[in-house]
Structure 1
Amino acid sequence: MTGLLDGKTILVAGVTMDSSIGFATAKVAQEQGATVLISNFGRALGITRRIAKRLPSEPPVLELDVTDPEHLAGLEAAVREHTDHLDGVVHSIAYGNPETLLGGKFLDGPWEDVAQAVQVSAYSLKSLAVACRPLMSGGGSVVGLTFDATTAWPAYDWMGVAKAGLESTSRYLARDLGPDGIRVNLVSAGPLRTLAAKAIPGFAELEDMWSTRAPLGWDNTDQEPTARAVCALLSDFFPATTGEIVHVDGGFHAMGA
């Protein structure tokens, strides 16, 4: 049986725990025939190397801090140690200091922490795409992960602003990379119990909203529907779609009340 991603090589950047969307995406991509590389950095790199063994096929693990110019400059060479090209890149990266930026701290969030959140969560999509661009000479797909930034959410605060920046960045990237045949899209997932979500004070309030308003229902422990959407966008089934945000949230975003 032919897989959706047969013959494709995909980099999933930002895989930490096996409860993450990045891990689920790497798993589904492998099951759909892709060759996968994953990345992380710093203290989390050791965790990534351990959980990589839980994937169907243990992938190469690259060290990549998307805020480090040296790491970005060396990414092409690091990837070429394993493959001569990339067909797709997944940006599964976000960070905002939960002690200063989340959980009702919007009016007090210091600029230094806001700047870090915007760099890691939004600007890095551009940084990663540009670093991978020489590896995608045949075109390809860049897919990032967002949490609907069109409204103000309880507890999400400055991360909501960072995600709004991510969504705008994806549209400008779609404009500038389109002539290279590179598509840039985002998947907007409902609340999932990932490591990142656990760090958000008051996250349970968001989860409670989904349980009553999503018409398809919502399982906040199941990352696979989101991972499948990411893999669909990485595939050849969306050849003329770019600058788009695909919602995987049980339909919550479409409901007024």
Structure 2
Amino acid sequence: MTGLLDGKRILVTGVITEASIGFHTARIAQQQGADVVLTGFGRLSLVNRIAQRLPSPAPVVELDVTDPAHLATLADRVRDHVDGLDGVVHSIAAAPASCWGDFMGAPWPDVSSSLQVSAYSLNALAAAVLPLLDPGASIVGLDFDARVAWPDYDWMGVAKAALESVNRYLARELGPRGIRTNLVASGPLRTIAAKSIPGFAEMEADWDKRAPLGWNAADPTAAAQSVCALLSDWLPATTGSMVWADGGVHAIGQ
């Protein structure tokens, strides 16, 4: 029996811990037959240890998406492990503490940093790996529905709204090359990033109550499976879209 991603070469960025959507995407992608390469930044020794916990240990490439030298050499460094890419997962986001819980008070340098890392980086990553992508390739980013103003999410919510716009423009630019680009909007998950959000525990509890399908904030599997579905060949005409993996909360009124 063949897997959904049999023979595909997938780059998964931003893996830090086993709790991340990126890690579970890499795990499921391997289980579905993909050859996976990871990127990490900063604590590379930790990322290398995490990479050993996948079903098959994966190579790790260093990537700081704000470093032009890292981006300029990314394709060549990925080629050390695979001869091309069929899929890329953007699971990168960060914002200084000032950007959470005080929307009016956040200073521009901190806001600009959050926008660069969390939104512009999707474009920067796509441009960096473009030499490795053939027609049929798929880029998938991780989102948190930015259609409304969430309590305390503040400038990260603005960054996610920008990410959604970047995704649409990338779909326009890359579509003629046969490359798809989409986002998966997950419900709240207990990741390292979530620990930075004031009021996350309340949001998590409320989400499970509101979700028609229920919601388990401790299990990223549903979001990771949605990412893998978009990486597969089964959605060949889907691009510029956002797929919700949130238990159905996006469809329910307050």
Q: TM-score, normalised by structure 2?
A: 0.99
Task: Determine the C-alpha separation between the residues in 2 that align with 1:119 and 1:45.
Answer: 21
Q: Report the AA paired with residue 185 of structure 1.
A: N
- The count of residues paired between Structure 1 and Structure 2 equals 254
| TM-superposed deviation, 1:199 | 1.5
Q: Pick the aligned partner of 2:99 from 84, 98, 101.
A: 101
1:111-132 deviation line (CA, Å, top 9, x unaligned): 0000000000000000000111
Q: Report the AA paired with residue 41 of structure 1.
A: F
Identity of aligned residues (%): 63
Establish whether residue 190 from structure 1 lines up as the match of residue 187 from structure 2: yes
| TM-superposed deviation, 1:137 | 2.6
Q: Report the AA paired with residue 240 of structure 1.
A: A
Establish whether residue 242 from structure 1 lines up as the match of residue 204 from structure 2: no
What are the residue-to-residue correspondences of 1:135-214 with 2, within 5 Å?
Answer: 135-214=132-211
Task: Determine the C-alpha separation between the residues in 1 that align with 2:218 and 2:48.
Answer: 23
Partner of 2:113: 116
Partner of 1:128: 125
SS state of the match for residue 52, structure 2?
helix
Task: Determine the C-alpha separation between the residues in 2 that align with 1:137 and 1:255.
Answer: 39
Establish whether residue 233 from structure 1 lines up as the match of residue 227 from structure 2: no
Task: Determine the C-alpha separation between the residues in 2 that align with 1:66 and 1:139.
Answer: 24
| TM-superposed deviation, 1:84 | 1.0
Partner of 1:82: 81
Partner of 1:37: 37
Establish whether residue 8 from structure 1 lines up as the match of residue 8 from structure 2: yes
Task: Determine the C-alpha separation between the residues in 1 that align with 2:139 and 2:45.
Answer: 26
Unaligned runs of 5+ in 1: none
Task: Determine the C-alpha separation between the residues in 2 that align with 1:178 and 1:77.
Answer: 24
Q: Is the 8 A contact 2:136 2:236 kept in 1?
A: no
Partner of 2:90: 91
Task: Determine the C-alpha separation between the residues in 2 that align with 1:251 and 1:138.
Answer: 32
Q: TM-score, normalised by structure 1?
A: 0.97
1:216-245 deviation line (CA, Å, top 9, x unaligned): 000000100000000000000000000000
Task: Determine the C-alpha separation between the residues in 2 that align with 1:212 and 1:41.
Answer: 36
Task: Determine the C-alpha separation between the residues in 1 that align with 2:120 and 2:7.
Answer: 30
| TM-superposed deviation, 1:175 | 0.3
Once the two structures are overlaid, the 10-residue window that deviates more, 72-81 or 197-206, is 197-206
1:107-163 deviation line (CA, Å, top 9, x unaligned): 101100000000000000000001111100333000000000000001101000000
1:144-195 deviation line (CA, Å, top 9, x unaligned): 0000000000110100000000000000000000011110000000000001
Task: Determine the C-alpha separation between the residues in 2 that align with 1:137 and 1:246.
Answer: 23
Task: Determine the C-alpha separation between the residues in 1 that align with 2:229 and 2:184.
Answer: 10
SS state of the match for residue 137, structure 1?
strand
Task: Determine the C-alpha separation between the residues in 2 that align with 1:229 and 1:153.
Answer: 23
Unaligned runs of 5+ in 2: none
SS state of the match for residue 188, structure 1?
strand
Runs of 4 or more consecutive aligned structure 1 residues displaced over 2 Å after TM superposition: none
Indicate the RMSD between aligned Cα atoms, in angstroms.
0.7
| TM-superposed deviation, 1:204 | 1.4
Partner of 2:19: 19
